């Protein structure tokens, strides 16, 4: 558990710096919010199909952090207001890196990169964020340009 907390803190500290570096280098025009349709409905559907096995038993069917197994402890929510508040200002590249390196807790990294971004698309869709015309790509520089925001700005 200490490793997961340390990884989350490290990613949370590095991601805003990466976004700030993009803004300072003139790439700010390329930075978009998760509210700007950064995934497709088809991608979110694929994520919904993958989610139950590696994610659902700990984070719950509703992605609210209430585990499906009553013997398990609550986990962080993966969608909606609390998730957006906790990750506000952090690039999707940090969320992608975090999920790839720490999730699922009993077998991190076993999914394909495409499956991780499909699950992230599903998380965003459950949170009520709009789908768009382009899929999220499992490409850290592209994901670094997409910033999680609590509400549209």
What are the pLDDT digits (tens) for 3-13? Answer: 444 445 455 44
> Strand pairing partners for 146?
32
Residue 131 falls within a domain, yes or no?
Answer: yes
Cβ proximity of 124 and 39 under 8 Å: yes
- Say how far apart CA 108 and CA 99 lie, in whole Å: 8
* End-to-end Cα, the chain, rounded Å: 35
Residue 152 falls within a domain, yes or no?
Answer: no
Residue 153 falls within a domain, yes or no?
Answer: no
pLDDT 10s digits, 39-92? 999 999 999 999 999 999 899 999 999 988 888 899 999 999 999 999 999 999
Q: What is the average per-residue pLDDT within 119-127? A: 98
Residue 65 falls within a domain, yes or no?
Answer: yes
Residue 22 falls within a domain, yes or no?
Answer: yes
- Say how far apart CA 128 and CA 132 lie, in whole Å: 13
> Strand pairing partners for 91?
147
Give me the domain span that covers residue 57. 2-147
Radius of gyration of the chain (CA): 15
Residue 115 falls within a domain, yes or no?
Answer: yes
Residue 97 falls within a domain, yes or no?
Answer: yes
Domain count, the chain: 1
- Say how far apart CA 129 and CA 98 lie, in whole Å: 21
Residue 98 falls within a domain, yes or no?
Answer: yes
Which CATH number fits the domain that encloses residue 50? 1.10.760
């Amino acid at each position: 558990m200490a490793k997961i907390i340390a990884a989350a803190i490290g990613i949370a500290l590095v991601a805003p710096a990466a976004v700030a570096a993009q803004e300072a280098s003139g790439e700010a025009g390329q930075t978009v919010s998760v509210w700007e349709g950064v995934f497709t409905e088809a991608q979110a559907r694929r994520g919904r199909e993958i989610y139950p096995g590696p994610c659902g038993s700990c984070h719950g069917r509703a992605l609210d952090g209430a585990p499906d197994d009553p013997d398990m402890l609550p986990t962080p929510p993966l969608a909606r207001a609390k998730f957006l508040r906790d990750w506000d200002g952090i690039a999707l590249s940090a969320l992608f890196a975090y999920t790839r390196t720490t999730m699922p807790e009993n077998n991190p990294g076993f999914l394909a990169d495409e499956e991780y971004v499909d699950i992230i698309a599903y998380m965003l869709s459950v949170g009520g964020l709009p789908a768009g015309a382009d899929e999220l790509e499992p490409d850290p520089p592209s994901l670094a340009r997409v910033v999680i925001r609590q509400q549209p700005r």
